[in-house]
Chains A and B, each alone.
Chain A
Amino acid sequence: MEITIERLAKRYGDRPALDPISARIGQGEFVAVVGPSGCGKSTLLMLLAGLLPAGEGRVLLDDAPVDGPPAGVSVVFQDYARSLFPWLTVRRNLALAAVAERPAKAELEHRIERALRSVGLPDAAARFPWQLSGGQQQRVAIARALVAEPRVLLMDEPFAAVDAQTRADLQDLVLRLREEYGVTIVLVTHDVDESVYLADRVLVLSPAPGRVLRDLVVDLPAPRGQLVTKALPRFAELRAEVFRLVMRPVDGAAP
């Protein structure tokens, strides 16, 4: 599924949150969106997800304009406590992701089991979210996103609310899932290292109102590894580049 962003902008009242942004994301690409706080990166993601009405411009998924949450797109939010429903078991939470589609019972069971296995929680189906740790809950949220077998996965600072070690585990999980499910991923983060480590491309946004300062291609080899990749000189270069752009956008080159 190809994502085309055409001159997308958003304002709240007369305060612009996002300046016109245009970009194209191809099938299977992993794009990270970074920028300083308040630059509008989460707004951009919500617009892509169809959860916010666009101000100007539009988003196209395979040439079909997005008007409300589209089929084939799953979202993982930052706050898993407000994302998973605590009164439902893990299995029921995951089943809700497919209600709109209404697959056959056997098919649904299979998808749920596969998703839980993929995130490393094969035995969690009968548990309730409050019985799991924060990292596990976020895994469940990711599993739920996968049950719908999406073509596009949108993630809004998904690892901001977990500790550093769990974050590293979840980052590698997402890389594996990308291989296994073949999804296009757009991940919003404030963590510069994370963006370079995970993505094929990094979109750096300016401070509010956000516009694309740089569309950086990350030419690090695959498969990525926490130790191996981060030790490469190229990683340091790319990271420094993004860091410079995020911290001092005045120096950033025009798109």
Chain B
Amino acid sequence: MAERRSGAPASTVEPGAAAERDARPVAVRLRRALRPLASLWLLAALLLVWELAARADPSPFLPPFSVVAARFGEDWFAPAPGTLFLSERFLDAVPVSLSRLARGWALAAVLGIAIGVLLGRSRVARALASPVIRFWMSVPGVAVLPIALQFFGVSDAVSVFLIAFGSVWIIATHTADGVAGVDPGWLRTARSLRLPRSALLLRVVLPAAAPSILAGLRVSLGFGLVLMIVAELYATTAGLGHDIARYQQTFRYPEMWSAFLLVALLGIAFNSAVDLVERRVLRWRRRG
């Protein structure tokens, strides 16, 4: 354990200064508690701009934030207790969409990490695969949508496929980078310990590559969210993307914006969730 100095240093100080010393920690603590809120000032300022601009020059396409916020409460939350206070609309759209996202992203994670590990271990494999991966990464998910519709027809599989297709390359490249970049000192130590292949992969390579892998997972999740919406804009019967398209086609703009807001909040929630996981799993990177 690190040694700590015991007791305060002896010093000759006037009584007034002692009171000052006590006040400082309180002010410091207060400032520290409010710090996370400070980063929100820009967001608050932008929302204010939105509100003022929309009221100053009204347009049906851009309702003021206050209108959207009010709609948000009405659309997605309901007073009925049994349903976690979620509205029927929420329960019709959100679980369907999230289920597609979960399946597509999980598929991408499993495949992406597997491919990434294989590529990470072999420079030759990386050189061969690189142009292929770069090609697929440049293809926008939207462009693949019609092809997917041909193959899968109108079904869940279209969404799952699109999400997986868009996410897998991100995860694979991040994983490959992580695996290729494992500190050679650790690899040498593992060799000197005569670790069998499985232990080498599971106990050394994957944990060492975890920062990169988790970064890839986090980025691809955000990407997958976008693809989830895109896949649902056409030829589906339910889901958030489907709802957004429907509101837009029927000129119900406040509801459309309210749906945007929900998607944005979901994105923030996912990002925070992965962030928490990252922080827990990567405690060792603190290196006190």
Contacts and interface: CB of A to CB of B under 8 A. Distances in A.
Interface of A: 49, 51, 69, 71, 74-75, 77, 79, 81-83, 85-88, 96-97, 99-100, 128-131, 133, 148
A85 B203 contact: yes
B136 to A, nearest CB: 32
In the A-B complex, the 3 residue pairs with the smallest Cβ-Cβ separation, listed nearest first, are A82-B185, A86-B284, A100-B194
Give the interface SS of chain A, mostly helix, strand, loop or mixed: loop
A75 B192 contact: yes
B284 A100 contact: no
A130 B286 contact: yes
Counting chain B CB atoms within 10 Å of each CB, which of A74, A96, A148 scores highest? Answer: A96
A213 B1 CA distance: 44
Contacts of B191: 51, 69
Interface of B: 1-2, 183, 185-186, 188-189, 191-196, 199, 203-204, 207-208, 210, 283-288
A96 B186 contact: no
A79 B184 CA distance: 12
A116 B191 CA distance: 23
A77 B195 CA distance: 17
B163 to A, nearest CB: 30
Given A51-B191, A100-B196, A86 B287 contact: yes
Contacts of A81: 185
22 contacts: A49-B192, A51-B191, A69-B191, A69-B194, A75-B192, A82-B183, A82-B188, A83-B186, A85-B204, A85-B207, A85-B208, A87-B207, A87-B210, A88-B203, A96-B199, A99-B193, A100-B193, A100-B195, A128-B283, A130-B288, A131-B1, A148-B193
Contact of B189 (A77, A87, A99, A100): A77
B186 A85 contact: yes
A171 B113 CA distance: 44
B196 A99 contact: yes
A83 B194 contact: no
B288 A71 contact: no
Contacts of A83: 185-186, 189
Given A97-B193, A100-B196, 17 more contacts: A69-B194, A74-B192, A77-B185, A77-B188, A77-B189, A82-B183, A82-B186, A82-B188, A85-B189, A86-B284, A87-B210, A88-B203, A96-B203, A99-B199, A100-B195, A130-B284, A130-B286
A162 to B, nearest CB: 15
A156 B58 CA distance: 75
Nearest to A133: B2
A100 B197 CA distance: 10
A39 to B, nearest CB: 21
Contacts of B193: 69, 96-97, 99-100, 148
